[in-house]
Chains A and B, each alone.
Chain A
Amino acid sequence: MHKFRQNLAHLYMLLFLVFLLAPLVVMSGAAFNDSKLPSVVPWRGFTTMWFSEMIRDERMMLAFANTLWVAAAVALLAVVVGTAAAIMVNSISGRLRTILYGMMISTILIPGVVIGISTMILWTKMGNAMGTEFFLFNPGLHLSVLGQVSYIAAMVMLLVLARLQSFDSGLEEAALDLGASHAQVMRRILLPHLYPAIAAGAAVAFFQSIENFNVTQFTRGGSDTLTVYVFSKVRSGITPTINALAFLLICVTLVLAVLYEINRRRRARIEAAREAEARRAEEAALL
């Protein structure tokens, strides 16, 4: 009976993985189907033509480039702001902490539509009020960046804060005691400890930004990002060039994920070896 339930569980996991991954397979498969409509059925033969078509689709390539720079800008800003916020929240206490932390977290829960519209209204109204044509106050992807940062920074903040929890503030004091300035403590002691979380935060911010539709849709003005472009294409007739791009993105993601995992295992191995050495030294000292 127990065995049966166990097998049922394995089966369930398998089905779940199929449910999650099959759509991606279908989408990738459609990139190689020689059919004008993106689909895997009916199969009209293998082709790589959609990849060359994709390169020639200038609007799409532009949207892709836009997506990348928006994501990079969001990652940069969100990491700077989110890290500062995490360090701040970590070393204050009491009411102020509760309020600040609550406000930061609630940004994750604000619907993207609301963020998009409010960001758009604020900056354009501000431009109108000042009577300026300065680009910052016009609709455009830079407003998308600001809108996206407003909640992605909170995600970075949470990641960095979790990492800060494992930080021994005694290290800061030790460094100060040895004569380091506050800036040196930050650069040599605190930030190196946070780098893994900051890197993870940057990755999350980058992908969250690529993923974002709601905020971008309301703030972008006339520019496209990939998400917006695909969205408009699904409505107005789509070709498998999108699938070709999707396939490439999935491949990049996979490669990154595998590299990450390999690196993680390597580190774990090194750490285990070090601890074993420490144990041996301990035993040797006791003899």
Chain B
Amino acid sequence: MSAGIDLENVCCDFGTFRAVDNANVSIRPGEFFSFLGPSGCGKTTILRMVSGFIEPTQGVIRIGGEDVRGKRPNQRPTALIFQNLALFPLMPIWENISFGLEVRGVDKATRRKKAEDLLQLVDLPGAADKMVSQLSGGQKQRVAIARALAVEPQVMLLDEPLSALDLKLRQHMRAELRAIQQRTGVTFIYITHDQGEALAMSDRVGVMSQGSIQQIADPREIYNNPVNGFVASFVGENNVFQGEVQHAAAGMASFTTPHGQFRARLGDLSGKIGKLYVRPEHTIITATPAAENSVPVTVSDISFEGSFIAVHATSDTGAHLTSELRNDGSATVPEKGVRVHMSFDPARAAILPDANVRG
């Protein structure tokens, strides 16, 4: 009971402002798909187009292969979980959950039964007769999910459902949501601006910036092989070097920077200027210079982060670089003020263009 969703060249304009630009994505049935991007990049707009609250200015949306243009929200097999949950405050929990059945004319006993089953499913038994204001944030979350599941949607659309929760609860609910999705097999489209959330829960992630989709891939690919600087820096930390591509061959290139010559993987620049990105945990610190990709630096600060130790350093040109060492005793942590060399494996660094946006 789940459907795939295809967006083909979907655009959405508000007046002269283009909120979503030429979105193309094909979401598979039963997939947990996340849209990830900073605030205002058009995530909610995409979701509202899929659910039918706004019509795309251009392009086609298909749900389960069927073109849904012109269909109202209540005629689409989708259920939306709102950013603020939008639970009905004047109805008890069970009426909230069975509202979708009530408006379809289902009799009361059946509705009550269904509501209790769903409360069981979301691990909130015995809450049927409570009021919304009696529940904690996490419990409201579950009720919202149960309410959406009650109408047996083929697609669930979730708009930053965890953003109002405390950090600890949020982490707990991640696993919970993922489990519910797997139990029900419904396609989930999940929206968030929290990269940790997107990477941890999703089968695939679409990273967005200023209305356009930058990259669609599974979480590992997104993190390890970002297609451009925006994706690289929105998902995780980087050391960035500016410079010029010299000899490119077999997917590798040399890169001339003020710090010297580096070698790294060459991304798809399409004629644009590129920068070199390398993750802090992919750098190593040594007392003597490495064979290649080595920068002499002075350690300016050490911060202890628990599972890793961050070494902040300054190069001779004044650039701030960071290296992360695993806190397992394998690496020696340098002293503050010491001169060391920072280097990285060419296969772990990439030369990437800036974000892929208009103008």
Contacts and interface: CB of A to CB of B under 8 A. Distances in A.
Whether the complex brings A and B within 8 Å at their CB atoms is answered: yes
A170 B53 CA distance: 11
B250 interface: no
A58 interface: no
Interface centre among A175, A177, A180 (most CB of B within 10 A): A177
Given A271-B133, A274-B131, A275-B133, A180 B74 contact: yes
A179 B169 contact: no
Contact of A170 (B86, B133, B136, B169): B86
A184 B169 CA distance: 35
A166 to B, nearest CB: 10
Name the residue in A274, A279, A284 with the highest tally of chain B Cβ atoms < 10 Å from its Cβ. Answer: A274
Contacts, number: 86
Nearest to A284: B136
A278 B127 CA distance: 12
B103 A181 contact: yes
B74 A176 contact: yes
Given A176-B73, A176-B74, A171 B135 contact: no
Given A170-B86, A178-B74, A286-B169, A281 B100 contact: no
Given A173-B53, A274-B134, A179 B90 contact: no
Interface in B60-105: 72-74, 78-80, 82, 84, 86-88, 90, 99-100, 102-104
B38 interface: no
A108 B241 CA distance: 69
Given A174-B86, A188-B99, A181 B74 contact: yes
Interface in A163-194: 168, 170-171, 173-181, 184, 188-189, 192-193
Contacts of A281: 134-136, 139
A271 B90 CA distance: 12
Contact of B100 (A170, A179, A189, A271): A179
A177 B103 contact: no
Nearest to A285: B138
Given A178-B74, A181-B74, A285 B151 contact: no
Given A179-B151, A275-B133, A170 B84 contact: yes
B240 to A, nearest CB: 38
Nearest to B74: A179
Contact of B134 (A180, A188, A189, A278): A278
A178 B53 contact: no
A109 B171 CA distance: 57
Interface string A126-169: 00000000000000000000000000000000000000000010
A83 to B, nearest CB: 17
A284 B136 CA distance: 9
A286 B168 CA distance: 7
B51 interface: yes
Interface residues of A, number: 28
> What is the interface residue range for chain B against chain A?
35 or more
B136 A285 contact: yes
A176 B138 CA distance: 24
Contacts of B139: 281, 285
B147 interface: yes
Contacts of A170: 82, 84, 86
Which residue, of A193, A278, A286, has the highest number of chain B Cβ atoms within 10 A? Answer: A278
B137 interface: yes
A68 B247 CA distance: 95
A173 B134 contact: no
Nearest to B84: A170
A273 to B, nearest CB: 8
A186 to B, nearest CB: 12
B88 A171 contact: yes
A175 B133 contact: no
Nearest to A271: B133
A279 B172 CA distance: 18
Contacts of A171: 86, 88
A274 B92 CA distance: 12
Contact of A179 (B88, B104, B137): B104
Nearest to B82: A170
B74 A278 contact: no
Contact of B103 (A178, A271, A282): A178
Contacts of A184: 103
Contacts of B147: 178
A277 B134 contact: yes
Contacts of A181: 74, 103
Contacts of B13: none
Interface of B: 51-53, 72-74, 78-80, 82, 84, 86-88, 90, 99-100, 102-104, 131, 133-139, 147-148, 150-151, 166, 168-169, 172
28 contacts: A168-B84, A170-B86, A173-B73, A174-B87, A174-B88, A177-B73, A177-B74, A177-B80, A178-B99, A178-B103, A178-B150, A178-B151, A180-B103, A181-B74, A188-B102, A192-B90, A274-B134, A277-B134, A278-B133, A278-B134, A281-B134, A281-B135, A281-B139, A282-B138, A285-B136, A285-B139, A285-B172, A286-B166
Given A174-B82, A177-B74, A180-B74, 5 more contacts: A173-B80, A278-B136, A281-B139, A285-B138, A286-B168
